[in-house]
Amino acid sequence: MATFADIGVAAGMNILFAVAFLVAFAILRLQPINDRVYFPKWYLKGLRSSPMHQGSFVSKFVNLDWRSYIRFLNWVPDALRMPEPELIDHAGLDSAVYLRIYLLGLKIFVPVALLSWAILVPVNWTNNTLAKSEATDELQYSDIDKLSISNIPNGSLRFWTHIVMAYAFTFWTCYTLRNEYAKIATMRLHFLASERRRPDQFTVLVRNVPPDPDESVSESVEHFFLVNHPDHYLTHQVVINANKLAKLVKEKKSKQNWLDYYQLKYSRNQSRRPVTKTGFLGLCGETVDAIDYKTAEIERLTKEIAEERERVKTDPKCIMPAAFVSFRTRWGAAVCAQTEQSRNPTLWLTEWAPEPRDIYWDNLAIPYVSLSIRRLIIAVAFFFLIFFFTIPVTFVQSLANIEGIRRRAPFLKAIIDIPFIKSVIQGFLPGIALKIFLVLLPTILMIMSKFEGFMSVSALERRSATRYYIFNFVNVFLVSVIAGSAFQQLDSFLHQSANYIPRTIGVAIPMKATFFITYVMVDGWAGVAGEILRLKPLIFFHLKNFFLVKTEKDREEAMDPGSIGFNTGEPQIQLYFLLGLVYAVVTPVFLPFILVFFTLAYVVFRHQIINVYNQEYESAAAFWPDVHGRIIFALVFSQLVLMGLMSTKGAAQSTPFLIALPVLTIWFHIFCKGRYEPAFVRNPLQEAMMKDTLERAREPNLNLKSYLRNAYIHPIFKNDDDDNEDEHIDEKIEENVLVPTKRRSRRNTPVPSKYSGTSSPSLPDVAPENPGS
């Protein structure tokens, strides 16, 4: 078992790494050559110019002002100085609310830690249960475990102290959660009310449009909404399957970058033309002239892109049974998005459209009927992912047991018995090993979410975050506890009465706090400090800047500002909430390590959000109900763990008092869900009408149709340099995908629409007469 000395070595190593990362960052950020790496957000906003354009040759690359090095820690107060309203205006509500998760951790755990150390630690320490247990060789322990509930004898009246503190911690956590939920719901409504005009405020996504043999998808959509929303329908854009075209354009851009690189390389040394291989990643195949080969590849792709663009415009099979439908008012969009459109609840499904930059365009081409099958497949795959990942996690836990290593590898005894090596193995190695095993997990979970077919990046990240949290709960927490108690103590179980097994498990669960302490230090201390250093973006920026950058646009594209990474960051935070709530009563020594994480992470990520991250989308804190729900789950689980522990410690009479805790907590969750969650899933009609009224008064001549015309065009048609008529692409697509129809749909449709200004562009003004009808 890890001792205070082992934890001290681990803390020293992680503090050393964290300080090294922070000092390196503080120095590197002062160098002009790194300015775009550590302040990319200001460049993207056009509010910062490169310091490399001024001064002498040396000063363009190295900061020669010695006074700035004295103030190298000024980034900390600078990160804390910006007030929250300004932060919201600067980075968006999502980023500001994400930071509030760290503040919520401090609000909850600072009073909890103070009470635990003032009351529970003395109660636990002034017992000798573990010392007596050691004499019978039933269980191994360290001095850290003397601070836990394991050190209290069975049936002791001191357990009532833990029960009272469990109630106090629950009430305080719920009180804090309720205040935070109310505050963020108010912030969201205010943000939506004061936000500038955006296309998604007027637009809904319509899916599962029923097929019609006489009308195209575009005609069906327009006909349906002119009939059923005659006073508010404005325009629409059908969803186009342009995935193949997007892949070709992406491939061409990659080839062009390589061609630029080879041309630049040749211009620097014209005595030898660069060569490459035609096989996979240029590693195998025939050796050819690189410039000629890439030029030929680009010409081939240009031809394929032109053919594919023409096919997408003219082939009705490229039109999906879905569309973005825009309305004249926010009120009309809210009514449509929040009501059922047809007597058949599986057709004409409407939901709020994501903002254009939030759309994951690849998934719009997935047929709606396949979504349920895809999600079933992923559910099964996720189960097996969790199941098979228990193997490396269990192996990691074996590293924390030095005695197990001695038995399985006796030839290492001389090495691992060295005090420092032993401390590193037990206090540092398990945490870093588990962190390494989890490196690829976010990518795997995001691929799963994409396969499921979610339509927006925010939905992909929220689903991935949910799975990441489940994975952390099962494999990082539960498997760690089981592997460190039941498996580790198997020999002891085989040599004792069955009546003692529950007691041994109950004593061993709080002992796993030592492993989680090492994990928090590796991931939450050194890991967070490493985030601000941005070593990977720093290296890649300078490589791109040296080899590929030729223009200011190239230099801007070489910057990698990144984003807050909700799909990975939030589940990690929730793991700390889980650990803190579980061990608050059981092992209070754990809490200071959690507090260091929340404090350091708040400062670091506030700096990153202000200066670095460029958020891909804005969901107006739509993720907060998930955050609240996961904290409630952690709180209920911590109460169940305490009930289980009490049952093994001869305190079964306390069970009726503890049962009330999860009941009250679940009731509290239901109350918050009913009171505050509607603000995150629906848009109040009152707010929509108020905003519409103000906009009509301020901009009576606003041409909303022109504003929305190209908002939901596939980006491949907006940004492709090969097309010189992008501004009219939406009209061309609508005209070319029409299917000849004999149906006189205009007879059932008001003409012309007084809100769209003219007759529908997708339908003729007069239905043609058909002699054969």
* Residue 152 backbone phi and psi in degrees, to 5: -100, 130
Q: Tell me how crowded residue 56 is: count the other CB atoms within 10 A of its CB.
A: 8
Instruction: Note every long-range contact of 373-379, with CB atoms under 8 Å and residues 24 or more positions apart, other chains counting.
Output: 374/451, 374/452, 374/453, 375/452, 375/453, 377/451, 378/448, 378/449, 378/451, 378/452
Is the Cβ–Cβ distance between 276 and 282 less than 8 Å?
yes
Q: Which of 632, 610, 660 is nearest to 98 (CA)?
A: 610
Q: What is the pLDDT of residue 750?
A: 42
Q: Tell me how crowded residue 697 is: count the other CB atoms within 10 A of its CB.
A: 8
Q: Which of 559, 556, 545 is nearest to 261 (CA)?
A: 545
Going across the sheet that includes 349-352, the strands are: 233-240, 319-327, 203-207, 349-352
Q: Give the pLDDT mean for 653-660.
A: 82
Kindly state the tokens that stand for 642: 């305490």
Beta bridge partners of 275: 289
User: Does 93 score more than 80 pLDDT?
Assistant: yes
Q: 699: buried, middle or exposed (CB in 10 Å: 19+, 13-18, 0-12)? A: exposed
Give the three-class secondary structure for 328.
Answer: coil
Map tokens 């980075």 to a residue. Answer: 91
User: In this prediction, what percent of the chain has a pLDDT beyond 90?
Assistant: 39
Give the three-class secondary structure for 351.
Answer: strand
Kindly state the tokens that stand for 58: 């040396």
Q: What is the pLDDT of residue 730?
A: 43
Q: Tell me how crowded residue 67 is: count the other CB atoms within 10 A of its CB.
A: 6
Longest Cα–Cα distance in the chain: 104
Render pLDDT for 483-521 as a digit per residue (tens, 0 to 9).
544 344 445 545 555 555 444 545 556 767 777 888 888
Render pLDDT for 12-47 as a digit per residue (tens, 0 to 9).
888 898 999 999 998 999 888 898 999 999 988 888
Kindly state the tokens that stand for 485: 């108690």
Q: Which of 271, 135, 62, 150 is nearest to 589 (CA)?
A: 150
Q: 129: buried, middle or exposed (CB in 10 Å: 19+, 13-18, 0-12)? A: buried
Q: What is the pLDDT of residue 405?
A: 62
pLDDT higher at 388 or 606:
606
Q: How far is 757 from 744, CA to CA, in rounded Å?
A: 21
Render pLDDT for 604-619 as a digit per residue (tens, 0 to 9).
999 999 999 998 888 9
Q: How far is 39 from 458, CA to CA, in rounded Å?
A: 24
What is the DSSP track for 145-184? GGGSGGGSPTT-TTHHHHHHHHHHHHHHHHHHHHHHHHHH
Render pLDDT for 264-290 as a digit per residue (tens, 0 to 9).
788 878 888 888 888 776 677 788 888
Render pLDDT for 191-228 as a digit per residue (tens, 0 to 9).
988 888 889 999 999 999 998 888 889 999 999 999 99
Q: How far is 501 from 491, CA to CA, in rounded Å?
A: 11
Q: How far is 548 from 264, CA to CA, in rounded Å?
A: 8
Domain boundaries, the chain: 4-196+369-681, 205-354
If you average pLDDT over every residue of the chain, what do you get?
A: 81
Is the Cβ–Cβ distance between 203 and 353 less than 8 Å?
yes
Render pLDDT for 564-587 as a digit per residue (tens, 0 to 9).
889 989 999 999 999 999 999 988
Q: How far is 582 from 117, CA to CA, in rounded Å?
A: 15
Q: Which of 257, 353, 341, 298 is nearest to 619 (CA)?
A: 353
* Residue 83 backbone phi and psi in degrees, to 5: -70, 160
Q: What is the pLDDT of residue 662?
A: 94
Q: Give the pLDDT mean for 176-183.
A: 97
Q: How confident is the model at residue 303 (pLDDT cuts 50, 70, 90)?
A: very high
pLDDT higher at 31 or 408:
31
Q: How far is 47 from 147, CA to CA, in rounded Å?
A: 53
Q: How confident is the model at residue 562 (pLDDT cuts 50, 70, 90)?
A: confident
